[in-house]
Amino acid sequence: MAPVKVTKICCTLKCPHIRVTIVDLNQARIDAWNSPDYKLPIYEPGLEEVVRQARGRNLFFSTDVDKGIQEADLIFVSVNTPTKKSGVGAGFSADLTYVESATRRIAAVANSSKIVVEKSTVPCRTAESMRTILEANSKPGTRFDILSNPEFLAEGTAISDLLRPDRVLIGSLQTPEGKDACASLSDVYANWVPRDRILTVGLWSSELTKLAANAMLAQRISSVNALSAICEATGANIEEVSHAIGYDSRIGPKFLRASVGFGGSCFQKDILNLVYLSESLHLPQVAAYWRQVVEMNEYQKSRFSKTVVDTLFNTITGKAADTGDTRESAAISLVRDFLSERAYVTIFDPKVEEAQIWQDLSEACPSMTLEAIKKQVTIAPSALDACKQKEAVVIATEWKEFKEINWETVYAQMTKPAFVFDGRLILDAEKLRKIGFTVKVIGRGDRL
């Protein structure tokens, strides 16, 4: 049941007495998890160390889904829930095809009672649909209890987020059986999470909390990005403004960092889910409110790409993307905009595989064939190679390679005048200007 989440893997580290089996129908992905050189299918700092400690001890990876279901007492359903591309709710609602197929498989195979845990981000009351499927297809004497246990992880810090979480949320039906199932999962987390950080709530509250948490975080990002546009127009500095705002105890400093926009698959997908839910409940004003958060994010990305295109003539160097998950990433959106301007783009990413980059670009540019995309896009083996004979470098991500690169060497190899566009506020702009670069930093009022 893919994509595999790191929660269960971290559980093996803190609960050596619990056997965890990750099952997936994708043989290549399971082979990667079991690879002797630990070339894991996803990148997350610290993940390899956890797998090295637990694999073969109490952590196992297998394609034998049915055996995994039959042997488990507690089953986490961790499957992809992309935004629907067609049908009712297309563009907003979550596609629950994989959730349904996983649930039906559990019902068909299970020969003893199970606790089934929603781990994927799902719309409200999805658990009700899962319970209907399980109860309608269960074998005599087999009972299923449904829990909601959403993740609150940030890519890049997922391992530390799991080992030292702000909170663990578990939702259950408020029946004696539901509360017993909730207590069983709480006991697992209590091996390393203080009891006062394990929150037990109703099933529907848990499902909505995940959407609400991501929506509120995305709202903060869009708010500070809206301010960054004002800063550039007035001469203010967004870093100074956000730093001062963050001193207000009612606001705090987190998620007040301006950027080219939030990417990844979670924030936008969850906000669109909230928009669709609001419209379904006949709350158009609420739907319009949350839709504006997404529109502000799209504006920030298009505003940044327009600044680049307006400044340059033909060749742009893009750096994509910040994580191993490039779905709907800000960097891919920038490349799409550059391609529409007939620019030539060179991409470097230290973690994302070439095949994934081409797939992401194909999805982002549906009007272009992959052959046409490859005429305008080159994937470079290193950051220095990506910059050779280019007119501009666009920083859309925060890989440490971009902070530590030898900018004197970069400048010497670039076409002049050489431009740097910092969309993540990670570079020393004055140092780059002394080298000879013309620098544009998002959210700063200085002019090119």
pLDDT digits (tens, 9 = 90+) for 251-279: 999 889 999 988 766 888 889 999 999 99
CA atoms within 13 A of residue 443's CA, in its CB half-sphere: 28
Kindly provide the residue ranges of all beta strands, DSSP E only, lying in 179-337, ordered along the sequence: 198-202, 315-319
Residue 266, marked binder: yes
CA distances from 97 to 84, 101, 206, 308, 372 (A): 10, 6, 21, 40, 32
Residue 137 located in a structural domain: no
Is residue 304 one of the residues assigned to a domain? no
In this prediction, residue 342 has a pLDDT band, given cuts at 50, 70 and 90, of confident
Asked whether 174 and 184 are in contact (CB, 8 A), the reply is no
**Full domain range(s) for residue 41:** 1-64
Cα separation of 448 and 444, whole Å?
11
Q: Is 80 annotated as a binding residue?
A: yes
For this structure, is 182 an active site residue? no
Predicted confidence at residue 313, as pLDDT, reads 53
Assess if residue 417 is contained within a domain. yes
Q: Is 376 exposed, middle or buried (0-12, 13-18, 19+ CB in 10 A)?
A: middle
Say what the pLDDT of residue 325 is. Answer: 42
Count of structural domains within the chain: 2
CA distance 78 to 151: 10
Where a domain ends, among 41, 64, 87? 64
Is residue 397 marked as binding? no
Domain membership flag for residue 327: yes
Find the range with the poorest average confidence among 163-167, 188-192, 211-215, 321-325. 321-325
Buried/exposed code over 211-230 (b: 16+ C-beta within 10 A; e: otherwise): beebbebbbbbbbbbebbbe
Q: Give the pLDDT of residue 57.
A: 93
Per the domain annotation, does 180 fall within a domain?
A: no
Q: Which of 110, 111, 79 is nearest to 97 (CA)?
A: 79
Query: Given this model, what pLDDT does residue 113 score?
Result: 94
Q: Which of 117-126, 130-139, 386-395 has the lowest mean pLDDT?
A: 117-126
- Is residue 401 one of the residues assigned to a domain? yes
The domain boundary residue, chosen from 64, 89, 118? 64
Q: 3-state DSSP call for residue 317?
A: strand
**Which candidate in 10, 266, 365, 387 is catalytic?**
266
Residue where one domain finishes, among candidates 64, 93, 119: 64
The pTM score is: 0.83
Q: Is 118 helix (H, G, I), strand (E, B) or coil?
A: strand
pLDDT, position 2:
35
**8-50 pLDDT per residue, tens:** 788 888 898 999 999 999 999 999 999 999 999 888 889 999 9
Q: Is 429 within a domain?
A: yes
Q: Give 317's strand partners.
A: 346, 393
Average pLDDT of the chain, as a whole number: 88
User: Is residue 324 situated within a structural domain?
Assistant: yes
pLDDT given for residue 197 in this prediction = 96
209 is known to lie in a ligand binding site:
no
CATH number at residue 395: 3.40.50.720
CA distance 399 to 167: 28
Residue 318: which pLDDT band, with cuts at 50, 70 and 90? very low
CA 263 from centroid of its chain's CA atoms: 7
What pLDDT, in 10s, does the model give residues 173-232?
Answer: 999 999 999 999 999 999 999 999 999 999 999 999 988 999 999 999 999 999 999 999
Buried b (16+ CB within 10 A) or exposed e, 279-301: beeeeeeebeebbbbbebbebbb
